[in-house]
Structure 1
Amino acid sequence: MKLTRVLTKKLALFWLLSLSAVAVVFISSSLLSFFHLANNLQSKQVDELQSMLMEHRHQHTQWNLDDWLPPVLMSYNTVSFEVSKENKVLFRYQGNIQTRFFNEYQFSLDKNNSINVTLKLESPYIQHQISQFELILLLVTLGLIGLFTFYGYRWIENQLNGVEELAARGQMILEKRFDQALSEKGRGQPRIINHAMTLLLEELKDAHKERSRFDKYIRSNTFLDPDLGIGNRLYLKNRLAALSNEQGMLSNGVIYFLEMEDLDLLQQEEGEDAIRSFLTTCLSAIDIALQSQANSFVARRTFNQFAIVIPQLSLQEADTLAARILKICLRLPLPTSKRMDDFFHIGGAFFSVGDDSKSTLEEAEMALRAAQFQGNSSWFMYEKEFLIEDVRKGSVRWRSLLENAIEKQRFVAFVQKVIDIDQSTLYFEVFSRIKESKDSFIRASQYTAMAAKCGLMPQIDRLTIESLLRLHLSKKHSKQSQYCINLHVDSLLSESFRDWLTSFLNQQITYVPQLIFEVSEPVAVKHAAEINQVFALVSSLGAKISIDSVGQQVVGSQYLKEMKVNYVKLHRSIVRQIHLRPENQLFVRSLYGALYRTDAKIIAEGVEVFEEWQTLRVLGVSAGQGLLFSDLCALS
């Protein structure tokens, strides 16, 4: 059978089914309407009967239902009728209608519900029969559907003549006979599809010639880190998959996460070659320590974090090996003259047979954070029995400290100037710290992580905003200055905080134009919907918008235009030694071009030397912030 006949039959069947479905829907809707109207009509009749009974009862001291009620019930097609008072039957009527289809109604004739009525009526639609007119209308409709389908079948058959040749060529492509399909161009229809197939087959032939050269490149770069030549994140995932199945891990072992703090900043200072050489030396020393461990491997998870997986290892050996790896790392000379005591951190998680690989990675991450909380270079092993309790206790201590600081309002605001190219103050950025003693403060970078873990960041941001507006902006000397407040992601995602912010800014509407609300670029990109909602609110009230940490991640710049930001702040890793780094200069130029024809100003964060500031001004940066201009000072 020709393909056209197959296609036309399928299309005709589709039309027929579609029209039949439409007909079924209309008929069903009509039936439902009929049933609904019939039931409503019967319900109204029941209401009328109830009204008649209640009126008769109020007008007559004694009921005489036998005189007038039976004829009424007969006209209602009543199956049965019964009036009872306190389970005693006062009146009963049994109709001559015998049916299984009836509707039962129950109602009361007084307020105390002492006189109850049970009424059974024949279904209102049980005796309805299809009329001759309805039958003719149904047959005409079915005939029109059939006629439409027949003529549609003939029309589509004429339209698809010649498509068999095109289908045969497509079959060759599906069977991967590309050369034969290219040689047999034919005259398939539609011609534009046939011509497109020819063009794609020619492009595919050319692509096959290039494919062999890329195969080796892809294989060598898909699973390897391009800088160090070790496994990357995908390689780690595949190796862990090989060590486990659906039931979990196949053997005992350990996973270490080795993280090097501020490695990106160190690279900015010492250069990529020095860091690459240092990492190569470090990994070589670790490989020597792992030579006795069969099937062990090292992979790079992020720029400054490495995973070390060692199967067939006991828990005691895992502790010893973690201390040994840390000792090896501490012996290595860092590529910097500065002393960095808080550089290496190792978190380990021991896994046994049946453990889930994803859970093990999360445990290793928790252990790494625990090692970082200890301070200095250290290692920490995750132990399911003890670590959770230890972390819980640590969280309790932090929560007590933070809640006490919130209750006693021990948060002190510090500010740092942002200087424009004319050396005048553009605005002040606000930093919040916890006052421990007279000259001792806890920085935001130290308590933010635990405050977020305890769910207290919305309260802290709220306290900062209230303190700034009520205690500082009300002063005369502060009425001309602008202040930038960085909002945490937890605050932005909190509906209660957004409601409070709306109410509070409306109350302090006079000072809102002096405020700048700032979020980091990763937060703005990941939570665009919520951020846009908050930004639209504060912008409508007169406040300005700022995005910081721009350039820390590789993301597009379109979101900056969509959010209509006023300030774009470069991450300090872009600013550091920018006069010596053409690639960072290229990034700033591209960002400047992306913000063309917008009102957004580019601000550089972390400017420390004059050469950096000079280069940034040439690149079009509008303002700078850092130690070159001013240090932090308490907000008076």
Structure 2
Amino acid sequence: MRKASGMKLTNRLVTFVTLIVICAIFVIFIGGALSFRKLGQDYLTHYLDGVVAVIDQELADPQGSQGLSRWLPKLLKASNVVELEVGSDAGVIYSFRGLQKIQDPNILHLGHYQLEHNPGFYIELKSLPPYTEFTYSIGAMSSISLAIVMIIMGLVWGMNWLRLQLHGSELLEERGRMILAGRVTDYEVGDEKEWPATASLALDQMIAELKDARQERSRFDTFIRTHTFLDQLTGAANRVLFDSRLQSVVQDQETHGAVILIRIADWDELLADQGKENADELVHDVGMILSNLIQRYPDTVLSRYFDAEFAIMLPQQSVKEVRLFTNQMLNALERLLPPAPLEPDNWCHIGMTSFVSGERRGRIMDEADMALRSAQLQGANNWFAFKKDQQTEDARGSVRWRTLLDAVLNAHAIQLHQQPVISAHDGRILQRELLARIKDENGVQIKASRFLPAVEQVGFTIRMDKQVVSQALATLKRMPSTEVFSVNLNVTSLLERNFVRWLRDELLQTPRTVLNRLSFEVPEGALVKHLDTMRPIARMIVGLGCKLVVDQAGRTIVSTHYIKDINVDYIKLHRSLVREINLRQENQLFVRSMLGACGDSRAEVIAVGVENEKEWNVLKSLGVHAGQGRYFSPEMSLEKYLLTD
């Protein structure tokens, strides 16, 4: 795999040019020194040849040889000759030795000459080489010194000019580094100074096309999920999604709630008399009313179950609350004036039934349908509740919930359970999700799915999240470095500035080694709804070293563009998608779509609620990264886990 170079292009070129200039100066200096030395040697040899020729001529003259001792020493001294000897085979006829002290005799130039005019005679001499006693002189070396200074100045100017010319390439290189670091959004448009301009423009175009392709892919994935699980006219869930959610809820432990069916009477006559357009308008108006009414109930599912029939699932709500909601819904629908041939006082009928964990989905829908038919027999806009032999309801009102939750939070009595997330590749534990539990006045343990709606209703969300985070951090600091915890946070808390400031201060006081083993989970629907506000908070969490996990993915049909927008680490599928996925092709299509949305990002998909081996085998074949559920390990108290560990 190729890696980005650690040295800038400008530094490379500057280094290369500098080395070339230095090498050139060095070569010229060595060549000049050798030439200078050669010229000195040639000059000395030529000069000594003249001295020898003079001595040879004087020895050939009988009278001249008698005056050698008079004039020759002065000539030799002026010629830097240290020693001279004139002789023949018969012996030495003249010898000269200078008085100057030679520190290193090896530097002397040796010469041996045979006399042309005096055959049989020779001269041997030793002389100082040229420039031996010379020192540096500004005047003498001014030309060379000036040339070197000019070369250095030219080199500095050339380097600055080269840096200026290559500034655009440095900008382009820096942009490339930032893109490789994942900051594509911040550097999607290049600076006008970038060079080469064609490469910069090509990069701009490629990033724009990539961004558009990502958005188009996200829109396409959303389109697939929308047409698979949503009704195109009302935007509500279709029958497939409703049945899947209901099946998932009744298979969970300690759950209860109600299913409500709303049917428009005489639908076929309305289509024949008014046409499909007017009929669809009525259905759309009914859907808008129902959608507005269920907003205050969390985890509620609204579905257009048939052409003229809507279904609502209200989980974790008491029968008393459901009856109150049904009355409000009937009153709101009666204010809607239906077109003819529908009768204003007999066009809308509602059937309701309650359910608890372990009941069959088909039986629940049959009970709701029987209640709906009973309402139709009354001959007016009305609702009817199916009477069951045994009904489990939580009659705890908001006052009792407030009292219980206030006592639990004041006593710091929140209990944490844990469930591991198992890798699909090697079976190792990636992290442990922490799940909150509380006990009521009788010591009965209550799951988060039951008390969290009440926490939001009484306004204790921030207090709850603060205690859970503090307890998780304190526990994680005592755990081995191999343990990783995942903590659930409510988006309502993250929207409060005081809570975000508190969370930031707590994380800043925690060692980095601990933060690297901590993940925060936020629900997908609320995250996408408040994406602009959550974006800087998510960046803060990731920047401090924690991981970001998006929980309940697929519970609502939203665009998946947020995956790349806020650099999500893990995507946890909603358990309704995982339940019996081996029998539901539409759920497999949804999971494939989610995996495709995470394909070019660092996000990994985790399946939550795996109950058996068949589900797990299908999920692994689809390509999920990890799984979580009772198939791997039941939810265990964190205290018991610490003791067994």
TM-score (norm 1): 0.46
- The structure, 1 or 2, with the larger RCO (C-alpha pairs under 8 Å, 6+ apart) is 2
Larger Rg: 1 or 2? 2
TM-score (norm 2): 0.46
